[in-house]
Structure 1
């Protein structure tokens, strides 16, 4: 994904406010062996790009005054109630050094899982993104979580995921839970009541 930016020399709150009034968003590029560079970006283009999942977990081609370099979006700030991006931070990427980044999880095949198809269960997503480490060239836009074989009462853990080649998970826990399957409480109660009613109906009637 390509991003167009322009180097800016003026800094401070007043300069940033003037940029925003002109439809620009202040930002910065840092990291690597080069000095940090203050930049400005077209606000509307950045605002719409931030709505795309891939923009948050892809290597971006950042062009500043005609010079291109590889970067990652590291942080951004938005206004508390206005549709306004206040600032964006980008980090330079070295093709030969591993990066640590969060990527989204995509849950697939829930509709054909035994938990949903046979037991009318509910699948809960315990994790929505995954911390990974990899070389920039190996960075995936997302990691898939296959729910096809998930049954009620069972869970999918990190060790069950199939990670792309060159990608390693970075997690604080040994083997965290990614998703679980359970039957809704109301559904369990209804089944229990139905079973009790069936047992009563089948019981022999005592003769007086």
Structure 2
């Protein structure tokens, strides 16, 4: 485990209690946490700007194109898809026929990322390397966003995985995470937030680390409060897209709701006069 950072990340996400043993003074947990901290530095240096690598293989257009050929690929645990879109930095434009590349991605590679990020998978940026075959070690690298991930309608397995080229001028939809929930009077009294927008479209400047999510400030939230973009904390180099700015106050992130149980109401108790006995 100490030599495989990806394996350590997997166990940290799926078995967090094993990494929390260091706080209780357990020797095994201390050794595990120490090795994890050393590996964290390697992981951060391996993934600059929070962009993870991924590998895929080139699909033969003549023999691996069409419904039947794609079905045979899925039997071999290879998920068909395409890389499309423009990248002005590389001189690639969507009108060019060579801009669309047919690829096949191993099921284990996609499932690993889905287990880690779940619904936020399509909000991640990847450096995907297109190889000619399993024996090939060098290929062409494209910076992409996962797009139109399709699943089987019955067994929910991955059916198709497409990718769109990414550049700083392309917006990304980031999920929203709540912070300082303990400072909200409504959330402390059985309140909850009804999300209207689970993700917000933003632009990220070139050279800036791509965030995993956007923090929303929850301090001071009261019942029936309408949450808008003024509570979203944007990192440096990240701004809302034009579509979000144009909607203005009509862009609602969520609504504070709840029954209000536990609220201190100003009620005065009236003393009852004793009834005279007959």
CA drift at 1:157 = 1.2
State the partner residue of 1:26.
80
- Structure 1 residues 126 and 207: CA distance shift in structure 2, 3 A: farther
| 1:93/1:136 contact within 8 Å kept | no
Match of 2:65?
A: 11
Question: Match for residue 178 of structure 1?
Answer: 253
Query: How much has 1:174 moved relative to structure 2?
Result: 1.5
SS of the residue 1:82 aligns to:
coil
User: In the TM superposition, what is the alpha-carbon distance from 1:205 to its structure 2 partner?
Assistant: 5.5
TM-score, normalisation: structure 2: 0.63
1:70 offset after TM fit, Å?
Answer: 1.0
Partner of 1:50: 114
Q: 2:229 aligns with which of 158, 164, 181?
A: 158
Decide which structure has greater helix share.
2
Determine the C-alpha separation between the residues in 2 that align with 1:90 and 1:61.
Answer: 11
Q: CA distance change for structure 1 residues 137 and 15 in 2, over 3 Å: closer, same or farther?
A: farther
Write the distance in 2 (CA, Å) between the matches of 1:109 and 1:184.
Answer: 21
Runs of 5+ unmatched residues, structure 1: none
Correspondence 1:131 to 2:201: yes
Residue 27 of structure 1, CA deviation: 0.8
Give a deviation string over 1:147-195, Cα, whole Å, max 9, x none.
Answer: 122233433311232212222223262122323334416x38x988x95
**Structure with greater strand percent:** 1
Of 150, 157, 161, the residue aligned with 1:84 is 157
Q: Contact 1:61–1:70 at 8 Å: present in 2 too?
A: yes
Report the alpha carbon displacement of residue 100 of structure 1 after superposing the two structures with TM: 1.4
Q: Secondary structure at the match of 2:148?
A: strand
Deviates further, 31-40 or 165-174: 165-174
- Residue correspondences, number: 199
User: TM-score of the superposition, structure 1-length normalised?
Assistant: 0.81
**Cα 1:173/1:203, change in 2 over 3 Å:** farther
Looking at both structures, which has the greater relative contact order when contacts are Cα pairs under 8 Å and sequence separation is at least 6? Answer: 1
State how far apart, in whole Å, the 2-side matches of 1:19 and 1:131 are: 34
Whether 2:124 is the aligned partner of 1:63: answer: no
Shift of 1:52: 3.0
* Shift, 1:40, TM fit: 0.4
Q: Does 1:98 align with 2:149?
A: no
> Match of 1:184, SS?
coil
The answer as to whether partners of 1:57 and 1:140 remain within 8 angstroms in 2 is no
Q: Are 1:26 and 1:87, in contact at CA under 8 Å, matched by a contact in 2?
A: yes
CA distance in 1, matches of 2:206, 2:225: 35
Q: Give the aligned CA root-mean-square deviation in angstroms.
A: 2.8
Closer, same or farther: CA 135–15 of 1 in aligned 2, 3 Å? farther
| Superimposed CA distance per residue, residues 91-122 of structure 1 (whole angstroms, 9 cap, x where no aligned partner) | 1123xx411121100112213322233x4433
